Amino acid sequence: MIKYRLRCACSNEFEAWFQSSTACDAQVQGEQVACPRCGSHDVDKAIMAPNVAACGNRQDEPCPPPAATPKELRQLVRNIHRSLVKNAENVGTRFADEARKIHYQEAKARGIYGQASSEDARALVDEGIDILALPSLPEDAN
Ligand SMILES: [Zn+2]
């Protein structure tokens, strides 16, 4: 089953489920789909969401998510950094120690961030401690 957004001549948009994209086309063209507002059969497939439309005529196949550009990714990382700085405590190089203490409830549970070597990070993950490695941004080095 696949959901399509349809648009009526009266400019009402509504959604309907179809067996497949071909079934949708057939039913729309065969005037078997009526607008729930005015009852007209003058309906058409509305413009799909960009990530679906990008798949062209293979609309019954799942689409891959749209790829983020390097610029968008950088912005995303920058946003995460910013919210970390605002909401978490910078523990610097004590990150691994603090993360462990919080995990074993030897320290107050809170958001922390800081630096950890890749061995430290791996050890933390092995111990089942949730951490997230973020790439650092050039301007953070200032
Ligand atoms: Zn209508």
Q: What is the mean pLDDT of residues 77-103?
A: 90
Taking the centre of ligand 1 as the mean of its atom positions, its distance from the CA of residue 8, in whole angstroms, is 5
Within the chain, how many helices (H) and strands (E) appear?
5, 5
Q: How far is the CA of 21 from the centre of ligand 1 (A)?
A: 21
- Tell me the pLDDT tens digit for each residue of 94-118: 999 999 999 999 999 888 989 889 8
CA distance 22 to 28: 10
> Could you tell me the distance, in angstroms and rounded to a whole number, from the CA of residue 33 to the centre of ligand 1?
11
112-114 vs 89-92, strand pairing mode: parallel
What are the sequence ranges of the domains in the chain?
2-53, 70-141
Overall size of the chain counted in residues: 142
Report yes or no on whether pTM surpasses 0.75.
no
Rounded distance from Cα 9 to ligand 1 centre (Å): 6
CA–CA distance, 141 with 131 (Å, rounded to integer): 21
**DSSP bridge pairs for 13:** 7
Quick one: pLDDT band at residue 139, thresholds 50, 70, 90? low
